[in-house]
Amino acid sequence: MRRYFKMKMTTKKTVLLGLLLAIGVAVGYVETMLPPPVPIPGARLGLSNIVILTVIVLYGPREGILLALLKSTVLMLITGSITSFFYSFTGATFASIAMSLSYRYIESASLIGVSLIGSSFHNFGQIIVASWILKTPYIFSYLSFLLLLGIVTGIFVGMGANRIVKHLNQIGYGGFQ
């Protein structure tokens, strides 16, 4: 188990992961200022998946999931909201695992397809937390609306991650260990 979580860390990688984490936290913080799309307290669109997807492509699933967990933890320290931590944590975990798996195994999909799956699972995770916190299964009726919104977010995130990866590769920051 220990060996599984051990990953090779070079200074360059640490710095780039830290920078991407900062971007993810900033995007997540801006997102908390946007009005919520559905009347569920704490539910978010998941725009910061753009960073998680970038890390999954550049480094791999373990780094991506690690960044997702770090992102929601740091975001909780900034916003001070425990409720949105649960939403963010579950959403980010679901999204990062789903994106890692689909990036690995659905080879014909581009980053847009991968992020579509990611944002769907992000919304699914948030709905699970919402039904747990509000103690009502009826909250699942918002899922279809959230999924439709997630398609827009997913396409946006996929296009954004595509550009980031392209430019990082061009300046020689991508695809190294």
Partner 1 sequence: MNRTDVFILVIILFIAGLIAFLTFQPKGNDTDTAKYVSIQVDGREIDRRSLDPARDEEIIVHGHGGENHIHIQKGKVDMVEADCPDQICVHTKPIEQVGERIICLPHRVMIEIRSDSTERVIDATVF
The residue ranges that bind partner 1 (CB under 8 A) are 41, 82-83, 106, 108-110, 112-113, 116-117, 120, 133-134, 138, 140-141, 143-145, 147-148, 150-151, 155, 158
Q: Which is nearer to partner 1, 63 or 102 (CB)?
A: 102
Q: Which is nearer to partner 1, 20 or 99 (CB)?
A: 99
The residue among 66 and 75 lying less far from partner 1, judged by its C-beta, is 75
**Short-list 173, 107, 103, 132, CA closest to 43:** 132
For residues 143 and 124, the answer to whether their CB atoms sit within 8 Å is: yes
**Least Cβ distance, residue 41 to partner 1 (angstroms):** 7
Smallest distance, Å, CB 125 to partner 1? Answer: 15
Judged by beta carbon, residue 141 or residue 170, the one nearer partner 1 is 141
In the bound complex, what is the minimum distance in angstroms from residue 19's beta carbon to partner 1? 28
Taking the CB of residue 92, how many other CB atoms lie within 10 A of it?
A: 31
Q: In which residue are the tokens 């200022």 written?
A: 33
CB of residue 6 vs partner 1: minimum separation in angstroms? 33
Nearer to partner 1, 141 or 177 (CB): 141
Residue 153 is encoded by which pair of tokens? 């977010």
Contact call for residues 89 and 47 (beta carbons, < 8 A): no
Q: How far is the CB of 138 from partner 1 (least distance, A)?
A: 8
Task: Look at residues 31, 53, 27, 50 and name the one whose alpha carbon lies nearest to residue 42.
Answer: 31
Q: What is the DSSP string of 11-37?
A: HHHHHHHHHHHHHHHHHHHHHHHSPPS
